[in-house]
Structure formats: C-alpha cells, structure tokens
C-alpha cells in the first residue's frame, strides 16, 4: 500500500514537474516567429500626417451602424473618451507642453498575427478570417469577456448598456471589402494619415518613409514585431509608449498558455493516465484495508 501510494504521488508530482519544465525551457530562448499570410490586409497610420479632424471616427460609425456616444459632449456630438461600445475607432491626442511635443494617435483593432482574443475565445466566435482580419461572430459568443482580459491593447469592448449585448471591435470593414471598398476610416482621411493595403506593401512603405527622413521618424515600425506582429502598423516621431503603444516584446501573447496546455494535454494522454492511476491506487488501497463495502459512500 505504502509503495503504491508513494508511486502515485511521485508520478503525479513528476507529471506536473515535467510539464512545467518543458514549457518553461523553450519559453526563454524561442523568439516568436509568426508568419503573416500572404494576403494579409492591414493599415498604416502615420501620426506625423494626422491632423486630428476625426473624420475617420464619424465615417467608422456610419459604416458600422454605431450610435454616437454623446455622453461627454452634453448630447451634442460623438465624443467617446476611449474605445467603447459606440466607438471601434478613435483619435486621441498626446501633448507634452513642457517638451513642446504633440501627436495624435488613432486606435482600433491591431489585427494581430497571433491574436490573444482568438486564443481566448471558447467557441471560436473570434477568429482570424479572410485576409487575416480578426472577425467576430456573435452566434458563437456567450459574452464571457475573456477576450477583453487577453487583448494586450484593450481593444475589445462589450455592450454594457444592453440586456442583449455583443462584443464590439474593428473588423477592418470586412463587409465593405466584400464590396470592393476599403475601410471607411482610410477612405475618408483627407491627408492620407491612415492608408490601407496588403501588410507586406504597407511595411515596405513604412520603411521607405523612415529611410527618407531618418532624423524625423522613430526608427521603428510599431507592429512589425510587437506581440509577434500586427497587421496594423504605426509610424511616429514621438515615443510609441506616449501614444499608448506599450513596449511589448516580440513573443505572441497566446503562445505561453497554448504551449503549456498542449504539453499537458497532448493527445489527452496525461489526463487519461492520471485517471487510471488514481483509480488503480484507490482499488489497491481498498483491497489492502479490507473494507471494500465501506470504502464507498
């Protein structure tokens, strides 16, 4: 009895330790490499060109049938204070008067190459669809909001005001792409601050702009590598973090949980083995204590 118990405990501890060790080990060394699909579409936002007119916000609401958020403007006009159930797209202002530094920033879904929200979603309501667009299907959404817990950019929003709520996020105007048009925000921008196209082309254009004015731009295209890469890319002349684009590493966000889950539950062998082991130890213990009929209840 003593032996079987010890064996069982050792096996349990061993299984846990190996799974933890195997997931820890590759964690440190492996640089995330997420390869974008060749047809991946995206946007390039150049904060140095943006004039802050917010025409893109109005166009977005019109294209996506969103009601305006007039709470902060005394009922006058669409004036959300952040992305929310009325705003899939927003222009924010960063201003540092002491440094004499100022920039607008446009925020919407980044369409990550390996999105945390897609990894979170239980039934696949959020998925990487055509052109790598992170799309939302309310028919498979139970409203758990784990996607919001996961998204490193705080993009997904929930319709808190409704008794029958949905999630709200930019889907790169995929309903317009089907009609041969681009995202409403890109089409309406009067100064070309945000443009739309294939990610590969946009990335090349971004690097071309940096090469052309190396003293002006920050020498980095945000979204080229961050969290494994995103399909929306950013150029700016101020610190990206000032614009609310954190200095994340190159590892994709869902990879850590995914590799852990896949190690522990590979082929579902470990749970089945543990179940067999638990039952075997119970049977052995019951026999050895000779109280079969009492061992239950």
Site for another protein in 248-277 (CB under 8 A): 248, 253-254, 256-258, 260-261, 265, 271, 274-275
Does 9 bind another protein (CB under 8 A)? Our answer is yes
Q: Which of 129, 158, 187, 218 binds another protein (CB under 8 A)?
A: 158
One character per residue 188-207, x = contact with another protein (rule: CB under 8 A): --------------------
Q: Which of 65, 75, 160, 178 binds another protein (CB under 8 A)?
A: 160
Query: Please, which residues have CB within 8 angstroms of residue 131's CB and are 6 or more apart in sequence?
Result: 37, 39, 40, 41, 172, 174, 177
DSSP secondary structure letters along 102-157: EEEEEES---BSS-HHHHH-SSSSEEE-GGG-EEE-GGG-----HHHHH-TT---E
Does 31 bind another protein (CB under 8 A)? Our answer is no
| Overall residue count recorded for the chain in this entry | 297
Report the distance separating Cα 47 and Cα 52, nearest Å. 9
Min CB(22)–another protein separation in Å:
11
Does 71 bind another protein (CB under 8 A)? Our answer is no
The phi, psi pair for 106, rounded to 5°, reads -100, 130
Q: Which of 50, 83, 112, 184 binds another protein (CB under 8 A)?
A: 83
Instruction: Name the segment binding another protein (CB under 8 A); options: 34-42, 66-74, 82-90, 102-110.
Output: 82-90
Report the distance separating Cα 63 and Cα 54, nearest Å. 14
Min CB(248)–another protein separation in Å:
6
């Amino acid at each position: 009895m003593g032996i079987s118990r010890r064996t069982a405990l050792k096996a349990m501890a061993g299984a846990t330790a190996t799974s933890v060790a195997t997931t820890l080990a590759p964690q440190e060394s492996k640089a995330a490499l997420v390869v974008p699909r060749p047809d991946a579409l995206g946007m390039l936002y150049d904060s140095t060109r943006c004039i802050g007119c917010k025409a893109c916000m109005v166009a977005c609401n019109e294209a996506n049938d969103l009601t305006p958020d007039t709470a902060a403007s005394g009922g006058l006009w669409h004036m959300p204070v952040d992305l929310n159930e009325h705003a899939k797209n927003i222009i924010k202002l960063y201003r540092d008067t002491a440094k004499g530094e100022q920039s607008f920033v446009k925020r919407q879904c980044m369409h990550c190459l390996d999105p945390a929200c897609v990894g979170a979603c239980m039934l696949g309501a959020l998925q990487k669809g055509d052109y790598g667009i992170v799309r939302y299907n309310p028919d498979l959404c139970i409203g758990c909001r784990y996607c919001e817990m996961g998204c490193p950019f705080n993009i997904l929003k929930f319709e808190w005001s409704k008794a029958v709520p949905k999630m709200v996020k930019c889907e790169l105007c995929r309903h317009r792409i089907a009609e041969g048009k681009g995202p409403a925000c890109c089409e309406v921008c009067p100064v070309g601050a945000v443009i739309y196209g294939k990610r590969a082309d946009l990335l090349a254009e971004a690097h071309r702009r940096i090469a052309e004015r190396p003293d002006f731009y920050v020498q980095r295209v945000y979204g080229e590598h961050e969290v494994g890469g995103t399909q929306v890319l950013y150029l700016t002349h101020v610190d990206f973090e000032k614009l609310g684009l954190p200095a994340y590493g190159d590892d994709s966000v869902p990879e850590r949980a995914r590799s852990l889950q896949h190690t522990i539950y590979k082929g579902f062998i470990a749970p089945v083995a543990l179940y067999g082991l638990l039952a075997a130890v119970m049977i052995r213990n019951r026999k050895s204590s000779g109280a079969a009929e009492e061992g239950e209840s």
